[in-house]
Amino acid sequence: MLNEQDMQWVHETVEKIIKKMDWVSDKSKNKIPSTTVNGEHDDRSALGLSDNLDAGLACWTNGFWGGIMWQMYHETGNKKYVDIARYSEELLDTCFEQFYGLHHDLGFMWLPTAVADYRETGNADARRRGLHAANLLAGRFNPAGRFIRAWNKMHNEEVIGWAIIDCMMNLNLLYWASEETKDPRFRQIAMMHADTAMANFIRPDGSSNHIVEFDPETGEKVRTYGGQGYENGSSWTRGQAWALYGFVLSYIHTGKQDYLDTAKRVAHYFMANIPDNGLIPVDFRQPATPYWEDSTAAAIAACGLIEIAAYGGEYEQALYQNAALKMLKALEKERCCWGKECDCILQKCSSAYHDQRHEFNLIYGDYYFIEAIFKLKGDGLFLW
């Protein structure tokens, strides 16, 4: 339970979110934003998929604007958010039609849109879209290695045996499909992937690899890659956040204790590395210069820590919740734009350490910050 002072801060932040999203949603109602250009939301609604990761990866973010709209509808009851959310949901049908560029991020695309719609309204078309996406995700499962293949191509090269830690969040689409259809195969695939991730991604100290390559014929682990972190063996913070949040969600859906234990192990590693100012770098093992931040990692990890806090005693609850509050308060004070000079809320987000661009706006940063604040309020929409 939050103390009175912290709860007051939560309610004040909720009011800031409501005020900001009221005008931003009207301004961007015919867009699917991913970032900003000169403070204005860009528009990815016309961006087609590509079978090549370099050209098509941006589409994985196209579910988060709809997710924000469903969170806002759940919080306010204002139907305008339903209409805006469904605009994204319907445009995503183009991705089903194009097919070739779809990869493991189907959960990120259709859980915050179609599945959220179905959960909130019972929309039959939304249910169909969600189940279609779940079947496509299940089709990427490699039974020899017991993993879900991540991408299709990387720099025009096949990456058939690659799996990434991010997929722990996409598994929730499969859990939902099993719960919805009573067909255990979706849950079984999700749990086999989660078991493989536990064994091959999470290191003894609780940190996580980003990419693991398996032999697609035998399932044998071949090697790891640094991916979006600083280098192989380093600690990409958004990857740690995906692991932390992903494993506790797998526990919530299955009750398997190993998943909660793994989530806690990753959480303790993450908490031990939170800087004094509460602002999270791109990689916990990056050099002192250049020093890049990633506010998205803080927001995602906070969501996971809040969930983990519900499954411990009084001491553990306070431990995890206080770590989440430290990061969220730092973001709200130092890294949030509440005015009209920028359409996004969260500032200083980074996608990868070695990208040319750092510390800009990313729509999923806004999504997870909003989700975390609504979780703390106690009545947020459980989207995953």
| Per-residue DSSP letter, 115 | I
Single-letter residue type at 207:
S
Annotation marks residue 283 as catalytic: no
Q: Give the angle subtended at the CA of 49 by the CAs of 372 and 301, to the nearest 5°.
A: 20
Beta strands 40-41; 36-37: pairing state: antiparallel
Beta strand ranges found along 124-220 (DSSP E): 141-142, 147-148, 153-154, 157-158, 162-164, 211-214
Annotation marks residue 166 as catalytic: yes
The two tokens of residue 370 are 């909003």
Q: Which of 42, 105, 283, 294 is catalytic?
A: 105
Q: Which residue has the tokens 């045996």?
A: 161
Contact yes or no for 201/212 (Cβ under 8 A): yes
CA atoms within 13 A on the CB side of 28: 30
Q: Which of 42, 166, 343, 366 is catalytic?
A: 166
Residue 17 and residue 19: Cα distance in Å, rounded? 5
Residue 102 and residue 66: Cα distance in Å, rounded? 18
Which active-site residues does the annotation give?
105, 166
